Amino acid sequence: MNQGIKIGFNTSEHDGSADSEIDATPFDAIFSGVIGQDYHLLKQISPFAAEMSRLVGKAVGEFCLQSADAVRVVELGGGTGITTLSILSADDRLTVLSVDNEPTMQNQARQNLKKWADAGRLAFNGADALTALLSLASDSIDLLASAYTLHNFEAGYRKQVLSEIFRVLKPGGRFINGDRYALDDVSAHTRSTQNEVAGYFKVLTSLDRLDVLEHWIIHLFNDESENHIMREAVALQQLAESGFKQIGLTHRLEVNALVTAVKD
């Protein structure tokens, strides 16, 4: 996953300036820097993200209504716990294993969701998504839920992750992902992304957070790069190739969408 381009940032003291330099952090570890530390700003620059977290929780809740037993959920890329909370709130019986390999993010979730962890309903795994999935037994999970994580993956890694998700889900289990699914219409996707960038500038310049702005723009280049972009048609095809049925993309909000699929 470390493709060799290095980006690092001086984030020890925020002075509103974008003081960056190229050093030792791989670009796919960008959640370790200022984005991770100031992740709460996301809801201001991307209101759709909060809506996707809510929709993931809602889809989890709907699944739980049909289940007589306690539902076991694995969440990939739990981050600071925004979507994790939405999942936990969906049903009183479900338990969550939240996977995230970035301590800057996961440590915030450990703090924010301590109450749930203490109650035995939430556990954490600090491995990367593929390693965590490989450690799980086949047919052992009811739900694999995630938000804004899979689009960060390099395409080959994502394919392996999807295949492992299918393996660990029980028959009847469901994949629920609220994420950036690039529009198949490339021109429409570019326009939508340009509007998104304009929004980043508007909000983050008014907050005088040019450091955060810089990092989100750099991160966006990663998301949009050829070996990462999660284009709708390709993504749904990959789910089918992994064995999933009843694949659906709903609730599209610009470049964001909810995707669900079932292991028969």
Ligand X SMILES: C[S@@+](CC[C@H](N)C(=O)[O-])C[C@H]1O[C@@H](n2cnc3c(N)ncnc32)[C@H](O)[C@@H]1O
Question: Using CA atoms, how far apart are residues 59 and 44, in angstroms rounded to an integer?
Answer: 24
Q: Which stretch binds ligand X (CB under 6 A): 6-14, 63-71, 78-86, 222-230?
A: 78-86
Q: What does DSSP say about strands 256-262 and 245-253: parallel, antiparallel, or unpaired?
A: antiparallel
Q: Are 95 and 164 in contact (CB under 8 A)?
A: no
Binding letters toward ligand X, positions 112-131, x by CB under 6 A: ----------------xx--
Query: How far is C-alpha 121 from the geometric centre of its chain's CA atoms?
Result: 20
Which of 95, 101, 242, 260 touches ligand X by CB under 6 A?
Answer: 101
Q: Applying CB under 6 A, does 99 fall inside the site for ligand X?
A: yes
Q: Which stretch binds ligand X (CB under 6 A): 74-82, 162-170, 180-188, 229-237?
A: 74-82
Q: Applying CB under 6 A, does 31 fall inside the site for ligand X?
A: yes
Q: Applying CB under 6 A, does 77 fall inside the site for ligand X?
A: yes
Question: Using CA atoms, how far apart are residues 14 and 17, in angstroms rounded to an integer?
Answer: 8
Q: Applying CB under 6 A, does 255 fall inside the site for ligand X?
A: no
Cα dihedral 119, 173, 66, 70, rounded to 10, equals -20
**Long-range Cβ pairs for the range 183-189 (8 Å, 24+):** 183/231, 183/232, 183/255, 184/231, 184/232, 184/233, 189/255
Binding letters toward ligand X, positions 140-179, x by CB under 6 A: -------xxx--x---------------------------
Q: Applying CB under 6 A, does 90 fall inside the site for ligand X?
A: no
Closer of 161 and 239 to ligand X (Cβ) = 161
Question: Using CA atoms, how far apart are residues 248 and 150, in angstroms rounded to an integer?
Answer: 16
Chain contacts with ligand X (rule: CB under 6 A): 31, 53, 77-79, 82-83, 99-102, 105, 128-129, 147-149, 152
